[in-house]
Each structure stands twice: as structure tokens, then as C-alpha cells.
Amino acid sequence: MNAAKRGFSLIELLVVIAIVGVLAGIAMASYDAYVVRAHRSAAQGFMMQVANKQSQYILDARNYAVGSTALTSLALTVPPDVTPFYTVAVENAAGGTTVSTPPDFRVRATPIAGTKQAADGELILTSTGAKTKGGASGW
């Protein structure tokens, strides 16, 4: 009698490798989507923090902090998990950097080109609480 052959055939091995490759491709796509959502969530959290500070700031200053010094006036710095992916600006609701009458503001987080966030779209939070993502209403 012949001894039983041990091991795998080349075809069996190739089938297993193909299955593992497909599963890895699906997992990577899901992981990339998760990373984009996580960075977006960090930016949204910071934007909400800016809005909360603005509501405190207006009580003292009788106006919102806008322009290039707004974050400094609010004693805030952009967190390190947001900085590589978004540029955060505080403007009046019309998009300018000067104080407006009546007082209003919008926090705008613009994705940095060349990052995975670039396709995600710009995030905007206004003093009225309106939120937009990539021009569409809501986050």
C-alpha cells in the first residue's frame, strides 16, 4: 500500500491565498472609512468646544471672537489629532474675519489637501447651531 500523501496541493494553497486577499481588501476599506470618521469626529468635537467657549466669551466681551486671533482669545488650541487633517477658522456668519452686527460666528474646519479627509468635505458650525458637511445639512 501506498503511504497517504501529506500536505496541500498548489491549487488549494492558491485558493486560500485568494480568499485571504479578498478579506484583507474588505478589511482595509472598512478601516480607512473608520479612520476618516474618527478624524471627522475629533474635528466636530473641537468645533463644539469652540462654540461653547464663544457662548461664554460673548457674555464678557459683548461680541464673538472672530478672525485669526479668535482661538487665542478663547484660550483654545487646535488639538493634535485635528491639526494634521483640518484647518480650523472662526469667522463671522458671512465668512468674514471682522465682527458683525448682530453678533454671529461660524467655525469652519477645512480638510487639508492630500489627506484622506480631503474627500470628506468642509465642516461648518454656526452660532445658531446649524451644522453642514460638504455643503449638505447636518453632520
Domains, the chain: 10-137 (3.30.540.20)
Which residues, 6+ apart, have CB-to-CB distance to 122 below 8 Å?
108, 109, 110, 111, 132, 133, 134, 135
d(CA 86, CA 44): 11
- Top mean-pLDDT range of 22-26, 92-96, 117-121, 135-139: 22-26
pLDDT single digits (tens) 25-78? 999 989 999 999 999 999 999 999 999 999 999 999 899 999 999 999 999 999
Under 8 Å between Cβ of 32 and 116: yes
